[in-house]
């Protein structure tokens, strides 16, 4: 009997990582390799009047915006082209890259950096949401410091609040959060066979290729990205490697030598992107019996100095704003605010944790205000099949929240513990409910990502998976092998996965948004069925599969 795909198996990367055999970026060495360290702004907002670099010893170089090749642009294009590769005349946050020093000895590089002087004209920064909305120091972005704004309406919230017997409201704050991946940000760049090649600890090799090619004025196929074993990401290695890759590429072109850049833990924590801080105000209209008539949400996230992925994060924060609940009338307002702080970016959940934290806290708050049991109050409003969402879509699937709640209660002995864990007992227990989607919001997978995968059966009968989802500790290398093996009725150990290389693997999209198994895994499964149908053909067989909207 064929084993179940759910059966536990040894992870294919476990031995290498537990034995120390796996080669991380810091373990790489190329002949004549140099090291790099960045010169960073010490001001949150200032004009850069001058940068004075001392005479450099032989073999050392200073790299900045003036070294971009002809046709290049001083930019890092992510979703938009708003992040500068080098701060040339203005700095927008403390820690922004001004330049880079490269050379053969890391201690000497630190000495050179300490000797560089930067003359600033200080400007008044706006470092949090309130200061940015008040336009402290003048606008940083546009005329209102808003990178994005969303307005949604479901039902008739005006009537709900006009008819309310009582309104309960509160504001919920969440702070920045550090990813704390085990391996810090790390890349290396060199010229291989005449092509700029970047080795990267990253979640998104094709993102790096796009950013580097755009900044250099190259066609994308003139840049090659090779993924290395990656020690964690959690969203922190989705876009931020682009920020390091562009200056590093410029340095490699200037020197003509291999260069390695590995951030120290201290520098990584100080200057890399974090989860978006948020401030969410919720108002709930209640009738005389304490039933919810409607809600208003005002969701603000602190995007930092550059937009990066903040528009998408804001969407998720707003779209999850009423959680798992069927609220009949809703008005939602969302804003992503530009501040003179380290740019925020992707982090597990991508805006949803901020929205879900606020609504769960608020449901508890409302229940306590009206004297209702928190769990029973939540259950009254559980979404069900057919529920209209905050975006006026509909839930088509069966929603089994009541059944899940009962199973969780039984497994945790919840009701007994809730009764006995009284205030002052030193113990507590609680429930919270979340919704989580896989893949990009709306038509993003179809219109933006357009994922592709390839399967190959070699002439010797070996099956190879060619896809750009990368292993960052979540087990996807093993999962993809199991999916193919299950479809082909072969052991998963007989399936190989080609390590992501933008010259050799198709663009399956980024490793984020919980999409690697649900979206890319499905494409791989469909490709495996195609391969199985051709299995008896002689010689090499290749099959492709591209994403199509369900």
- Which pLDDT tens digit goes with each residue over 224-237? 999 999 999 999 99
Residue 251 is predicted with a pLDDT of 98
Residue 438 is predicted with a pLDDT of 85
Residue 71 has pLDDT above 80, yes or no: yes
Q: What is the mean pLDDT of residues 99-122?
A: 98
- Which pLDDT tens digit goes with each residue over 135-194? 999 999 999 999 999 999 999 999 999 999 999 999 999 999 999 999 999 999 999 999
Residue 24 has pLDDT above 90, yes or no: yes
Q: For residues 531 and 486, is the Cβ–Cβ distance under 8 A?
A: no
Q: How far is CA 300 from CA 167, 277, 303, in A?
A: 21, 9, 9
Residue 1 is predicted with a pLDDT of 67
Instruction: Give percent of the chain with pLDDT exceeding 70.
Output: 100
Residue 439 is predicted with a pLDDT of 86
As a whole number of angstroms, the distance between CA 237 and CA 199 comes to: 13
Residue 208 is predicted with a pLDDT of 98
Residue 442 is predicted with a pLDDT of 77
Q: Which two tokens stand for residue 21?
A: 């055999």
pTM of the model: 0.96
Set out the domains of the chain in order of their start, with CATH numbers.
25-122+180-271 (3.30.365.10), 129-176+274-420 (3.30.365.10), 444-546 (3.30.365.10)
As a whole number of angstroms, the distance between CA 528 and CA 46 comes to: 56
SS3 string, 88-149, reads: CCEECCCCCEEEEEEECCHHHHHHHHHHCEEEEEECCCCCCHHHHHCCCCCCCCCCCCEEEE
Q: How far is CA 434 from CA 262, 395, 518, in A?
A: 37, 15, 18
Q: What is the mean pLDDT of residues 412-419?
A: 96
Q: Which two tokens stand for residue 175?
A: 């702070």
Among candidates 316, 440, 438, 328, which has minimal Cα distance to 383? 328
Instruction: Give percent of the chain with pLDDT exceeding 90.
Output: 96
């Amino acid at each position: 009997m064929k084993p179940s795909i759910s059966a536990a198996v040894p992870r294919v990367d476990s031995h290498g990582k537990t034995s120390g055999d796996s080669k991380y970026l810091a373990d790489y060495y190329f002949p004549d390799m140099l090291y790099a360290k960045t010169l960073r702004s010490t001001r949150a907002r200032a004009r850069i009047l001058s940068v004075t670099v001392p005479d450099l010893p032989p073999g050392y170089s200073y790299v900045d915006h003036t070294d971009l090749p002809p046709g290049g642009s001083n930019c890092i294009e992510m979703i938009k082209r708003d992040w500068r590769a080098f701060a040339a005349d203005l700095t927008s946050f403390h820690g922004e890259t001004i330049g880079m020093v490269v050379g053969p000895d890391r201690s000497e590089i630190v000495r050179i950096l300490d000797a560089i002087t930067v003359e600033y004209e200080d400007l008044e920064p706006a470092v949090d949401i309130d200061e940015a909305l008040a336009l402290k120091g003048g606008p940083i972005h546009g005329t209102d410091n808003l990178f994005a704004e969303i307005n949604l309406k479901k039902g008739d919230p005006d009537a709900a609040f006009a008819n309310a017997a009582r309104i309960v409201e509160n504001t919920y704050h969440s702070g920045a959060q550090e990813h704390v991946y085990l391996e810090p940000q790390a890349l290396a760049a060199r010229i291989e066979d005449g092509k700029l090649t970047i080795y990267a600890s990253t979640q998104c090799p094709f993102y790096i290729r796009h950013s580097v090619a755009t900044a250099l004025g190259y066609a994308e196929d003139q840049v090659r990205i090779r993924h290395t074993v990656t020690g964690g990401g959690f969203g922190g290695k989705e876009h931020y490697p682009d920020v390091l890759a562009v200056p590093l590429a410029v340095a490699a072109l200037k020197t003509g030598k291999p260069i390695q850049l590995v951030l120290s833990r201290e520098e990584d924590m100080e200057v890399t992107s974090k989860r978006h801080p948020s401030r969410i105000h919720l108002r709930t209209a209640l009738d005389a019996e304490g039933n919810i008539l409607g809600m208003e949400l005002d969701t603000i996230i602190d995007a930092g100095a550059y937009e990066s992925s903040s528009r998408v994060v804001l969407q998720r924060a707003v779209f999850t704003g009423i959680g798992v609940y069927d609220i009949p009338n809703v008005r939602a307002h969302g804003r992503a605010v530009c501040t003179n702080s380290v740019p925020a970016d992707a982090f597990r959940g991508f805006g949803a944790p901020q929205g879900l934290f606020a609504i769960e806290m608020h449901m508890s708050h409302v229940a306590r205000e009206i004297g209702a049991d928190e769990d029973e109050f939540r259950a009254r409003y559980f979404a069900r099949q057919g529920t209209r969402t905050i975006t006026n879509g509909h839930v088509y699937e069966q929603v089994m929240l009541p059944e899940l709640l009962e199973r969780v209660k039984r497994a945790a002995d919840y009701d007994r513990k809730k009764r006995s864990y009284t205030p002052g007992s030193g113990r507590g227990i609680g429930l919270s409910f979340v919704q989580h989607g896989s893949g990009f919001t709306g038509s993003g997978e179809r219109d933006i990502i357009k994922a592709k995968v390839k399967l190959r059966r070699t002439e010797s009968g070996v099956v190879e998976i060619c896809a750009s989802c990368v292993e960052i500790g979540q087990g996807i290398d093993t999962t993809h092998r199991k999916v193919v093996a299950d479809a082909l009725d072969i052991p998963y150990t007989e399936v190989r996965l080609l390590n992501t290389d933008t010259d050799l693997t198709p663009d399956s999209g980024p490793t984020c948004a919980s999409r690697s198994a649900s979206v890319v895994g499905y494409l791989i499964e469909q490709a495996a069925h195609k391969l199985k149908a051709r299995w008896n053909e002689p010689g090499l067989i290749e099959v492709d599969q591209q994403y199509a909207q369900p």
